[in-house]
Structure 1
């Protein structure tokens, strides 16, 4: 099940193929797209932009795999507004930031990815998909 782009600007783009199955695949797709757009000097990329975009893509993909039943849709685009990464999965559950410690002040595993995404991205949106599941889109600034 693949989600279809719903906005007029994204309707002109082809969805990313092949669909990433793992966070490493998502990172490679983002790196390839950012290098392509920024390497051609079409856009100016700040020194930390690539690292931030890769981390956001990795966290979104990881959450889709661990909590959403796998990646069902993926798109990456780079423009003057930043790196836009969209990852879809089959779960209707909206991500939440978990407390990093339990009631006895012991550190808990996990729960750090979503806060990282929200901190690094300028814009984060969660959209319900018509056939179930969700698409999370995060825009990481280039500079």
Structure 2
């Protein structure tokens, strides 16, 4: 597991999620929300958007939302915020289980499909936090550099 921090929910976290746009049901919807937030920030600050950094943020978004759907009982909340030179993506699901990386090869030496999402998130994000939710489940927040 990457060096994430598991913390209890704080009132701040709960308040921030109230201001989020409608919760996406699919990774594609979440990616569009991230792309829109980053593009709006670039236009507002009159700075060019780094295509590779945006691509990294979209990949992290895909991995977090896909994992919430496949392993966490579905997406129960989603938030994206551009903060300075990074984009913060938060995805909440119903599971309290921490994400894990699978070994790429099984005991018989055969390559396994899947299991690469969490290492991708850990590699591309400069900070990853896992927060327990008061109603059960967890929120994973990843900060992805934009430059």
Structures share fold, TM-score greater than 0.5: yes
What does 1:79-118 correspond to in 2, within 5 Å? Answer: 79-118=83-122
Matches within 5 A, 1:6-85: 6-7=11-12, 11=15, 14-41=18-45, 45-85=49-89
Q: Distance in 1 between the 2:92 and 2:113 partners?
A: 24
Which structure has more relative contact order (CA 8 Å, sep 6+)? It is 2
Structure with greater proportional helix content? 2
User: Mind listing any 5+ residue stretches in structure 1 that lack a counterpart?
Assistant: none
Shift in Å, 1:44: 5.8
Range that drifts further, 118-127 or 100-109: 100-109
Q: Is the 8 A contact 1:15 1:74 kept in 2?
A: no
The number of aligned residues is: 139
1:120 aligned residue (102, 108, 124): 124
Q: Which residue of 1 aligns with 2:4?
A: none
TM, length-normalised to structure 2 = 0.86
| Coordinate RMSD, CA, aligned | 2.1
**Under a length normalisation based on structure 1, what TM-score does the superposition of the two structures give?**
0.88
